[in-house]
Homo-oligomer: A and B are copies of this chain.
Amino acid sequence: MEAQQVFTIKQTAELTGISEDTIRYYEKISLLPRAERKENGHRIYRQEDIETIQLLSCLKKTGMPLDEMRPFLGVAIDADPGEFPELVERLRNHRENIVSQIASLQQVVDFIDMKLEEGRYRRNCSDGSGNDAALTSPSAVEEPVAKPVSAVQMTYFSVPAKAGK
């Protein structure tokens, strides 16, 4: 806890993979708190700042808009879990979003796999509206059940299964 290492914005950018400009931008829009400065005004970052930015980068990868990241960071400063019920709610919601995003992605992976080993069967990559197989059936992703196949999906990249060229 004594004489903690500090980093310049350039080093921070290198360590986090987020560009200097973007880090300043995040500070500008108050996504990040105003960084500490040296006497000359230069920003300095500590290990925990690095990790905060890495968390941002991680959330970014999940496609979360910057505005939605705020609660994650805002609370980090002076936190207490039970004291923020609406925040817990938000977390729960976001968790659900991510889980269904994973399901969506998994379906695309399945789709690609099918395409790669040449069209066999295919379940629909349906969206929220209507019944969602991935949510209603438990082992939906694992079990290769022959389901009614979408014509288009059977067609992509595959030698026409029923229609001659």
Which residues on A are within 8 Å of B, measured CB to CB? 17, 47-48, 51-52, 54-55, 57-59, 61-63, 72, 75-76, 78-81, 84, 87-88, 91-92, 94-95, 98-99, 101-102, 104-109, 112-113, 115-116, 118, 124-129, 150-153, 155-160, 165
Contact = CB atoms under 8 A, between A and B. Distances in A.
Given A109-B95, A116-B91, A152-B48, A158 B81 contact: yes
A13 B118 CA distance: 30
Contact of A72 (B79, B118, B156): B156
A124 B58 CA distance: 10
B129 A58 contact: no
B95 A61 contact: no
Nearest to A87: B157
A98 B105 contact: yes
Contacts of A113: 95
